[in-house]
Amino acid sequence: MKDISMHPWIGLVVSVLMLLAGGPAAAQDKPLREDEVTEQRLIDGLAPPVRAASGVSEYSRGFRPALPPPPRRQSILITFETDSAELLQAARATLDVVARALASEKLARLDVVIEGHADPRGGDAYNQRLSQARADHVVDYLVGQHGVAKERLTAIGKGSSELLNRAEPLAAENRRVTIVSKP
């Protein structure tokens, strides 16, 4: 039987599947706790890949036309009161760092999606509304307190559809905000 692992198209198929799934970070997206969030970590996590002088990026591999790079993601454990979308003081301090990172040279032109996530308590419809309200509050804070252009930010509530810790559905990392760069 022929070994298909050496087939030249396998790498391309795997790359496309990873792109459709949100890239390699989607499966390993470890959220930063509020005390771990720094401008540099956010910049490193969200900045688009740099094209080499030859015009070949890590995503084009010399093929033309190049595949667009997958969206970059950074999960942050933004805290909220239980059953609320109101930001706590620690969350505001973390979002102050996020705003500074978004204003940095490497991210100043980047549009981002703010995804709100919830754990499965409360049912699907409730969690969808709560996660949307949380994402909306984050956007409102970044726009209102830091002047981030609203056109750069899109709020999306994901409910409990994308748990990071499926083994412990009520774990804190399942109640998070994820920042996703738009390609």
Structural domains for the chain? 27-181 (3.30.1330.60)
pLDDT for 154: 97
Residue 3 has pLDDT above 70, yes or no: no
pLDDT at 30: 78
List the structure tokens of 45: 């996590």
Q: Which amino acid is at 5?
A: S
CA–CA distance, 46 with 135 (Å, rounded to integer): 18
Structure tokens that stand for 162 in this block = 């994308």
The CA distance from 31 to 102, in Å, is: 18
Section 17-22 average pLDDT: 38
Strand bridging mode 112-116 / 153-157: parallel
pLDDT for residue 48: 82
Confidence of residue 172 (pLDDT cuts 50, 70, 90): confident
Contact 164, 173 (CB under 8 A): yes
What is the pLDDT, as a whole number, of residue 117? Answer: 92
What string of DSSP letters covers 75-86? EE---B-TT--P
pTM: 0.74
- Report phi then psi at 15, rounded to 5: -60, -45
